[in-house]
Amino acid sequence: MPKLVVISAGLSQPSSTRLLADQLAAETDRLLPSEIHTVELRDVAGDITNNLLTGYPSPKLRAEIEAVTAADALIAVTPVFSASYSGLFKSFFDVLDVGVLTDKPVLMGATGGSARHSLALEYALRPLFAYLRARVVPTAVFAASEDWGAGGGNGGLASRITRAAGELAELLGSRPERSAPVEELIPFEQQLAALRAPQR
Amino acid sequence: MQFGIFTVGDLTADPLTGRPQTERERIKGTVAIALKAEEIGLDVFATGEHHNPPFVPSSPTTLLGYIAAQTERIILSTSTTLITTNDPVKIAEDFATLQQLADGRVDLMLGRGNTGPVYPWFGQDIRQGIPLAIENYALLHQLWRETNVNWQGRFRTPLQGFTAVPRPLDGVPPFVWHGSIRSPEIAEQAAYYGDGFFANHIFWPKEHFQKLIELYRTRYAHYGHGTPEQAVVGLGGQIFMRPRSQDAIREFRPYFDNSPVYRGGPSLEETMEQTPISVGSPQEIIEKTLSFRETFGDYQRQLFLMDSGGLPVKTVLEQLDILGEEVLPVLRKEFAARRADNVPAGPVHPAAAAAH
């Protein structure tokens, strides 16, 4: 069963960001049964700041980072603050080790008060995940306040969730089983020889 | 097992007075601390090397030479010597001179320990940190063992028929420790040469270092220097003591909160749980230090950081008295009792010269 990790940067309780994250996860799980683990960034917010300052995670944050590292796919959802992802959301990705997201399928989502914020997904989140070399599915899901009302059910939000989850399930299902990355040791003679090779 | 202190030489303002020491006070204070270290029976005094404020020790061999003249027994070392930006020729000469003057009581720890801006001041580029560490040490290693060296590399001007003088005392170069926080390349380098590996250890959780030390031990054996257990490992630590635990915590907290490293991060209590920093009664210091052996296996050198964060020299000297009277004798006894038979003692010049 693939390991699906859901990252929610919602701050309030209940949170529409968490609600969207849960719906994306449930739909993905329906299409491709998965082992789901949800990371509420609010619960490790102080730990993330401490990690930025000290360079190492607390045991609690380390467990979440290890879950993300071991995940076969991610669903990442943030509220839109000041025209972009929240600082907490970005800070979490800042404390991951280099290369953790390389080649990992990612479904991204965002929430905001108005649909006019929806492009934050395309000009802020997509470049972030492109930089991290993740495989982001084409459909990103934005939920504005109005989506949770009467119009959201048919055709609106629900269909976007289904389409995006379908893309993630398809990408995930078509991938061979991931094996744990092997840390490569470069023998010393080789390190030394590399220095002696003629330079262009 | 060797015990000692290592300093970074930070000029941090004392949070209780708001006033930093002058450079002269800090440098002279460091000498007083080193002399005290010998007086209480420590084996090693080590100084850092930095080239930017708020640090003072940019010239370790000058400082150590001055201390060597006033001591008789203590080993003088560094924490660290910058193998990336220093000229390996100058390191070979400076430390051989110090070794001659100090009758062999000298070793050194190599590190990359530089921030980005420091490299260009010395004509280097931080992105070349690992290759610089590898090439420069390969040359240093050769200069201490061979005369009339012909050498050509990527980073330094070539040498033709060059002999570094003075030669190492008794033909035996100072023992070298390689310090690293994250880089397996450096653990591999230490293993290749059969040199020591020093895991700074302070400021970070043990998991960072368990993997590196294990890699070093395995590769040390791979290169035929001995069993993994015989590899030469050093660890850092940071301590503050008072007879009663709560007094130690209360007195040290302002210095912890004021430290350039810890400021604004997790609390003293959380940091103690996760890193080697140990603040409490002498008994608590003893227990925590002994736990390092459980985590990393038998090791040869334990260095404590005791003068950081703006602590007054007077307090540091008091701390050293407590260390010498109440902690050191117990640690020596307990580590000796636990040590496996085939594990070598810490490196000293007379033993190396005898084996030469």
CB contact under 8 A, A187 and B188: yes
CA A186 to chain B, closest CA, distance in angstroms equals 7
Q: Is the pLDDT of residue A173 over 90?
A: no
Set of chain A residues whose Cβ sits within 8 Å of the Cβ of B270: 50, 58
CA-to-CA dists, residue B96 to B109, B123, B145, B154, B179, angstroms: 14, 25, 12, 25, 20
Q: Quick one: pLDDT band at residue A176, thresholds 50, 70, 90?
A: confident
Is there a contact between B292 and B299 (Cβ–Cβ < 8 Å)? yes
What is the CB-side half-sphere exposure of residue B251 using CA atoms within 13 A? 18
Nearest CA in chain A to B263: A53
pTM of the model: 0.91
> Can you say whether the dihedral through the CA atoms of A115, A118, A120, A123 is positive or negative?
negative
B134 CA to chain A: closest CA distance, Å? 7
Q: What is the mean pLDDT of chain A?
A: 92
Return the residue of A nearest to B187 by Cα.
A188
Closest chain B residue to the Cα of A189, Cα to Cα: B192
Q: Give the ipTM of the model, two decimals please.
A: 0.83
CB contact under 8 A, B134 and A195: yes
Disruptive mutation site among A51, A54, A62 for chain B (greatest number of B CBs within 10 Å): A54
Q: Which residue of B has its CA nearest to A56?
A: B204
Mean pLDDT, to the nearest integer, of B20-44? Answer: 97
Instruction: Convert chain B into a string of H (helix), E (strand) and C (coil).
Output: CEEEEEECCECCCCCCCCCCCCHHHHHHHHHHHHHHHHHCCCCEEEECCCCCCCECCCCHHHHHHHHHHCCCCCEEEECCEECCCCCHHHHHHHHHHHHHHCCCCEEEEEECCCCCCHHHHCCCCHHHHHHHHHHHHHHHHHHCCCCCEEECCCCCCCEEEECCCCCCHHHCCCEEEEECCCCHHHHHHHHHHCCEEEECCCCCCCHHHHHHHHHHHHHHHHCCCCCHHHCCEEEEEEEEECCCHHHHHHHHHHHHHHCCCCCCCCCHHHHHHHCCEEEECHHHHHHHHHHHHHHHCCCCEEEEECCCCCCCHHHHHHHHHHHHHHHHHHHHHHHHHHCCCCCCCCCCHHHHHHHC
Digit-coded pLDDT (tens) for A151-167: 555 558 999 999 999 99
Residue B84 CA to residue B91 CA, distance in Å, equals: 11
Selected residues 32-61 of chain A with any CB under 8 Å from a CB in chain B: 50, 53-56, 58-59
Task: Please write the tens of the pLDDT for every residue from B240-281.
Answer: 999 999 999 999 999 999 888 899 999 999 999 999 999 999
Task: Give the pLDDT score at A13.
Answer: 85
Tell me which amino acid residue B86 is: N
Contacts of residue B312, defined as CB under 8 A and 6 or more positions apart, other chains included, come to B14
Q: What is the mean pLDDT of residues B62-85?
A: 97
Cβ of A199 within 8 Å of Cβ of B205? The answer is: no
Binned at pLDDT 50, 70 and 90, residue B115 comes out as confident
CA-CA-CA-CA torsion for B104, B106, B107, B111, nearest 10 degrees? -150
As a whole number of angstroms, the distance between CA B338 and CA A25 comes to: 53
The closest of A47, A19, A183, A13 to A110, measured between CA atoms, is A19
Which residues in chain B are closer than 8 Å to A199, comparing Cβ atoms? 154
* Helix (H) or strand (E) segment spanning residue A69: helix A59-70
Reading the block at residue B182, the tokens are 């994250």
Fill in the amino acid letter for B220: Y
Residue type, B202: I
The verdict on A185 touching B (C-beta cutoff 8 Å) is: yes
A197 near B CB under 8 A:
no
Q: Check if A198 contacts B (Cβ < 8 Å).
A: no
User: How far, in Å, CA of B153 to CA of B156, rounded?
Assistant: 6
Band the pLDDT of A182: cuts 50, 70, 90. Answer: low
| Chain A residue nearest residue B206, CA to CA | A56
Question: How confident is the model over B154-164, as pLDDT tens digits?
Answer: 999 999 999 99
